[in-house]
């Protein structure tokens, strides 16, 4: 066989495999799977004391207790997964129940929790609702 024929044959096989992989491989920035974990980061004004940050974290924790699909939460005061460590930072790592245990319709619950979590002591930045708020019927 000639080298041209082998080259075009391999190129054709490569194109077919590439086309197949493009059709079967999931794409997109956010995967379709629900990992069941989300993070809440708290960033107060610079110079805020650890006691004030702990007070804000108490307020958020009180709101998180009312979330029925929340299985567990871990609270870290003085550390942000994004900004590092400091007295004005805090983080919650929240784990949701399995899909089979989540019951009912969300009815915009995510937006209600998001509004409730906006505290007056936080920075003046406006934070839009995340894209995943309305991605399924549980509100998360």
Report whether 75 contacts 61 (CB < 8 A).
yes
What is the C-alpha to C-alpha distance for residues 46 and 80, in angstroms, rounded to an integer? 13
What is the C-alpha to C-alpha distance for residues 96 and 101, in angstroms, rounded to an integer? 10
* pLDDT tens-digit readout, 79-109: 888 888 889 999 998 888 887 777 665 544 5
pTM over 0.85? The answer is no
Name the DSSP class of 124.
S
Name the DSSP class of 40.
E
* pLDDT tens-digit readout, 24-49: 887 766 556 667 788 888 888 888 89
Report the pLDDT value the prediction gives residue 140, as an integer from 0 to 100. Answer: 44
What is the C-alpha to C-alpha distance for residues 35 and 113, in angstroms, rounded to an integer? 19
């Amino acid at each position: 066989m000639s080298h041209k024929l082998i080259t075009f044959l391999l190129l054709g096989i490569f194109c077919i495999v590439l086309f197949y992989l493009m059709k079967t491989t999931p794409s997109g920035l956010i995967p379709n799977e629900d990992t069941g974990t989300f993070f809440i980061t708290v960033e107060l004004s610079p110079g805020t004391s650890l006691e004030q940050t702990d007070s804000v974290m108490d307020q958020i924790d009180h709101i998180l207790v009312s979330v029925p699909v929340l299985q567990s939460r871990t609270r870290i005061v003085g550390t942000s997964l994004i900004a590092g460590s400091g007295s004005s930072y805090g983080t919650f790592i929240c784990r949701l129940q399995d899909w089979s245990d989540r019951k009912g319709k969300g009815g915009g619950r995510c937006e209600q929790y998001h509004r409730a979590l906006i505290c007056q002591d936080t920075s003046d930045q406006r934070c839009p609702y995340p894209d995943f708020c309305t991605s399924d019927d549980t509100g998360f």
